[in-house]
Every structure is written in C-alpha cells, then in structure tokens.
C-alpha cells in the first residue's frame, strides 16, 4: 500500500518535472527567438500554464485525497471559483512580499507580478489541488508534525524548497558579474524553479528513505 503510494507520488512528480522541461523546449517550435533569458516573461507564462495544467490533470486522475461526499455541481463550481480567488490573492500576496523585500514599487511591475504568479504556481496551486481552499488545513500542513499523508508531506517539502530556492535566488543580484540572468527577477524565478524541481525530486526519495519512521494518523 505504502510503496505503491510512493511510486504514484514519484510518477506524478516526474510528470511535473517533465512539464517544466517541456515548457522550455516546446515554445521554441512555435515562437521565434524564444529563450528563457531573453523572452523571460513569455517563458514564465508558459511554464506557469504548463505546471498548473499538469497539476490539475494529476489531481483529477490520481485523486490523492478521498473526494468529499457532497459533489453537486454548484459545490464544485463554488469550490473552483474559490480556488481561483485564492490563487489570485496569493499572487498579490507574493507581489507585496517581493516589494517589501525591496523589489521596485513602480518600475518592473509586470516582471514582479509574473514572478509572483510563477511562485504561486509552484506553491499555491499544489496546495489548492491537494487541500482545497481551506486555510486551516494549510496552516496545519505547514506547521511541525501536522502532516497526515505522504502527499501532504511531499507538498510540504516541495513548497518549502521552492521558497528556499527563491530566497537563495536573490543572492546573485548584487554581484557585479554583469550576467543577463542577474537581472531582476530572472535569478529569483530560476531559483524558484530549481527549488521546485529539487523539491519534486527530493520528496519521494526522502519519503522512501524514511518510510519506516513515518506514521500518519489517518493511515
């Protein structure tokens, strides 16, 4: 039971990584002059769309948490709308945090916002898929010892590693190497992406490694 779960987790994560890789290579067939650094904003949009789509599909196919009993259409629609609002709110929330961290307030608004969008894609979208629009559940998952399944555990790891990636991504900005990827917000988005990918890779491995020690109350 547990091993199969971990296997499913691994496959879903591999799919997510695959979607990011696709978002790098597919657009170059359709768009001219596409490259991550030069047309960074386009890539941000495409990557965000890809990752969201894959997450949604996986959510519908794999159904990691038992679906709720009430599944009327209106309930689903309100739930979906709520998710959208949560997503937007998280984008704005991240934008505000970036500005507080020192991102320019007036210039480069679009860049900052798209950065917020991609970070939300890496963190909020999986949370929404897995936990639904439920702040209490989020807080539970992200506090110590609040995890109740390997899915939540992996969610915790990927989200935190995305954040750490973003945080570390800011470090090259003051260096005087004059590289194109040091421009705001490229290094941060790349950091977020690397962090997300690293989280996707690490979490199944970590769970597999610690499968003996991990006991969840609901299982």
Partner 1 sequence: MRLGSGTFAACCVVIEVLGVALFLRGFFPTPVRSSSRTEHQAEPPAPEPSAGASSNWTKLPPPLFRKVVIMLIDGLRDDFVFGSKGVKFMPYTTYLVEKGASHSFVAEAKLPTVTMPRIKALMTGSLPGFIDVVRNLNSPALLEDNVITQAKAAGKRIIFYGDETWVKLFPRHFVEYDGTTSFFVSDYTEVDDNVTRHLDKVLKRGDWDVLILHYLGLDHIGHVSGPSSPLIGHKLREMDSILMKIHTSLLSEERETLVPNLLVLCGDHGMSETGGHGASSVEELNTALILISSAFERKPGDIRRPKHVQQTDLAATLAIGLGLPIPGNSVGSLLFPTVEGRPVREQLRFLHLNAVQLSKLLQENVPSYTKEPGFEQFKMSERLHGNWIRLYLEENNSEVLFNLGAKVRRQYLDALRTLSLSLSRQVAQYDIYSMLVGTVMVLEVLALLLLSIPQALSSKAELEVPLWSPVFSLLFYLMFLVLSALHVIVCTSAESSCYFCGLSWLTAGGVMALISALLCAVVCALAKMFADGKFLSKNPAHPKARWSELDVLILLGTMGHVLSLGASSFIEEEHQTWYFLINTLCLALCHETYRNCFLRDDCEPQQCSHVEEGFVSTAPALRDRSIRCNMLEPHRVSKGPTSLDTLRGHEKWMVLASPWVILTCCRLLRSLNQTGVQWAHRPDLGHWLTSSDHKAELSVLAALSLIVIFALVQRRCSLTSKVAMALGLLGVYCYRAAIGNVLFPWQRDSKDISKGVIEARFVHVFVLGILFTGTKDLLKSQIIAADFTSKTVGLWEIYSGLVLLAALLFRPHNLPVLVFSLFIQTIMTKFIWKPLRHDAAEITIMHYWFGQAFFYFQGNSNNIATVDVSAGFVGLDTYMEVPAMFLTAFATFAGPVLWASHLVSFLSSETSSGSALGHACFCYALICSFPVSAYIILVTSLRYHLFIWSVFSPKLLYEGMHILITAAICAFFTAMDQTNTKS
Q: Which one of 18, 76, 84, 146 is in contact with partner 1 (CB under 8 A)? A: 146
Q: Which one of 28, 68, 78, 143 is in contact with partner 1 (CB under 8 A)? A: 143
- Contact call for residue 97 and partner 1 (CB under 8 A): yes
Cα–Cα distance for residue pair 91/48, rounded to 1 Å: 12
Nearer to partner 1, 67 or 145 (CB): 145
Residue 101, CA distances (Å) to 76, 85, 159, 162 in order: 37, 24, 19, 17
Question: If 0-12 CB within 10 Å is exposed, 13-18 middle and 19+ buried, where does residue 45 land?
Answer: middle
- By CB under 8 A, the residues from 101 to 140 that bind partner 1 are 101-102, 105, 136, 139-140
- Contact call for residue 69 and partner 1 (CB under 8 A): no
- Contact call for residue 180 and partner 1 (CB under 8 A): no
Radius of gyration of the chain (CA): 18
Cα–Cα distance for residue pair 125/158, rounded to 1 Å: 12
Nearer to partner 1, 3 or 178 (CB): 178
Where does this chain bind partner 1 (CB under 8 A)? 97, 99-102, 105, 136, 139-140, 143-146, 167, 170, 173-176
């Amino acid at each position: 039971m547990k091993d199969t779960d971990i296997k499913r987790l691994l496959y879903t994560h591999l799919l997510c990584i695959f979607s990011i890789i696709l978002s790098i290579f597919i657009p170059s067939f359709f768009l001219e002059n596409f490259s991550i650094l030069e047309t960074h904003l386009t890539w941000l949009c495409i990557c965000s769309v890809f990752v969201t789509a894959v997450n949604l599909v996986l959510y519908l196919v794999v159904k990691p948490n038992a679906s709720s009993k009430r599944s009327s259409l209106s309930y689903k629609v309100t739930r979906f709308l709520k998710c959208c609002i949560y997503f937007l709110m998280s984008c704005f929330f991240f934008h505000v945090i970036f500005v507080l961290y020192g991102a320019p307030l007036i210039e480069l608004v679009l860049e900052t916002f798209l950065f917020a969008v991609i970070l939300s894609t890496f963190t909020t979208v999986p949370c929404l898929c897995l936990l639904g629009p439920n702040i209490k559940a989020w807080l539970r998952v992200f506090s110590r010892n609040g995890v109740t399944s390997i899915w939540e555990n992996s969610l915790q790891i990927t989200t935190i590693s995305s954040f750490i990636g973003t945080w570390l991504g800011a470090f090259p900005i003051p260096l005087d190497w004059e590289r194109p990827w040091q421009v705001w917000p490229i290094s941060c988005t790349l950091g977020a992406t690397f962090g997300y990918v690293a989280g996707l890779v690490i979490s199944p491995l970590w769970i597999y490694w610690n499968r003996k020690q991990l006991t969840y109350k609901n299982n």
